[in-house]
Each structure stands twice: as C-alpha cells, then as structure tokens.
Amino acid sequence: MIKCSPIAAAITVGLLSVSSLALAYEADWKRGRVYYRSVCTACHAAQAGGSIAPSTMTKSQWANYLEADKHANGKDSMRQYVSKAYRASIRSQNKAAEKFADVPDDELFQDIKAFVIKGAKDGDAPATCS
C-alpha cells in the first residue's frame, strides 16, 4: 500500500488549483472599450445609421444579446466581428483592428462583453459612445 504524506497531498492539491486558475481568463474591459469604440461604434456610425452606446441596454439585455450571438436582427453573427479574419480584413483602415490582430477571438469577445456590461444602463459606469 502506498502512503501519502499530508504535505505531499497539500502540494498536489495546490498545484491542481494553480493550474485551473491559469486556465481562467479575466476579461479586460478597457481593451473591450477600445475595440468597441474604434470598431463597433465606427461601423455603426458609418453604415448602420448610428452608434449604439452600452448605456442603451441593461446588463441583462447585453448578456442576452451577446449570448444569442445575433447581429443585425439575426442576419449574421456577433462573433464574426471580433474574429481574426474580420480584423485582418479591416486592419488597413482601422488601428484597433490592427493593434488587436493577434488577440484570440474569445478573449476579445469577453473583453467587449465586460465593457458593455460595465457601461450598461444599470452597470457600474454607464457609457456613451463618445
């Protein structure tokens, strides 16, 4: 029978805990703000008839909208606009798309989500598009 000392068990548990923490991504709302204002707002202002400020919806509405992943009244995917392929397609005319060209899609999506939730009508710091 193999005996395990309490110290060895504690070290094992500690290592497992640290490795699982390393997998969690903490969204960067500031990076989300830069991308949202530079890419999303710019496109909406130029092509969609006006920008959409985070403060136009509540946290719950933003969470539902992003979870549904339906952009332009369901015509396309919201995630499409944070993809590396999309950023590559606009990088020559958009500095934020160029700056964040190598950021993983899911991280950038989480960053934008953190920004709009923070800036929502009932968020910590309701945000306009200015």
For 37-72, the pLDDT digits (tens) are 999 988 888 886 677 889 999 999 999 999 999 888
Given a cut of 70, whether residue 74 has pLDDT beyond it is yes
| 126 occurs within a structural domain | no
What's the domain count of the chain?
1
CA 121 to chain centre: 18
* Residues 48/112, Cβ–Cβ less than 8 Å: no
| 12 occurs within a structural domain | no
- Token readout for 55 is 């403060």
Range of the domain at 52: 29-118
| 5 occurs within a structural domain | no
| 128 occurs within a structural domain | no
| 78 occurs within a structural domain | yes
| 35 occurs within a structural domain | yes
pTM of the model: 0.77
Task: Give the E-state strand segments of 16-102 in sequence order.
Answer: none
* Residues 96/55, Cβ–Cβ less than 8 Å: no
